[in-house]
Amino acid sequence: MNGIKAVSMTLCYTCVAVSMITVLIPQKRTRRVMGFAVGLFFISTFITTLAAQVSEIDLDSPNLSDIPIPTYNEEVSRDTVAQMTADQLTQALNELLHNEGIYPNDIKLTLKISDEGRISVVRAVIYISEKDSNQMPTIKSIVYRNISKEPEIHVTGEEAQHVAG
C-alpha cells in the first residue's frame, strides 16, 4: 500500500511541476524542444519511482509453515452446542411449567452429543418450592413428554420467586 501511495504522490508532484514548467515555456521554437524535455522528465520520473517501488515487493512464495492455520477443537464445539441447547430447553420447560401455574426455582439439564451428532438429555434436575410439591406428577409428565427423560425433583424450603405473565 505504501508503494502505491509513493507512486501516486510522485505522479502528482511531477504533474504539478510539468504544468508549471509548461506555463513558463515561450511560444516560439523552443516550445517543441522544451515540451520534449519536460515529457522526458515526466516519464523518467514516473518510471524511476515505479521501478523503485516494484523492487520492494517480495514476490517469493510464502513458506507454508509461516501461515497460521486455525485450529478446530471438536470437543469445545460440542460442549458449546450442548450448552446452548440446554439453555434453550431449560427456557422452554420453564415456559411450559409456567403455563401450568408451576414456578420452579431452577432447572438444570445435562446433555451429551453422540458421535453421530445426536443430542440427548443425560440428567434433568428441577428445584421447586414446597408450595409446588403437590404438582410433582404434573411436572414429571410435562418434562418427560418434552425431553424423554424423567426429572429428579428436589423440594427446597424457599418459595418460588416468579412474576406472573
> What pLDDT score does 160 carry?
43
Query: Count of alpha carbons within 13 Å of 128, Cβ hemisphere only?
Result: 22
What is d(CA 9, CA 105) in angstroms, rounded to the nearest whole number? 69
pLDDT for 162 beyond 70: no
For the domain covering 74-156, report its CATH number. 3.30.300
pLDDT digits (tens, 9 = 90+) for 19-37: 777 777 767 777 777 777 7
pTM: 0.50
pLDDT digits (tens, 9 = 90+) for 90-141: 999 999 999 989 899 999 988 888 877 788 888 999 999 998 889 899 999 9
What is d(CA 148, CA 98) in angstroms, rounded to the nearest whole number? 19
pLDDT digits (tens, 9 = 90+) for 51-88: 777 666 665 666 667 667 767 666 677 778 888 888 98
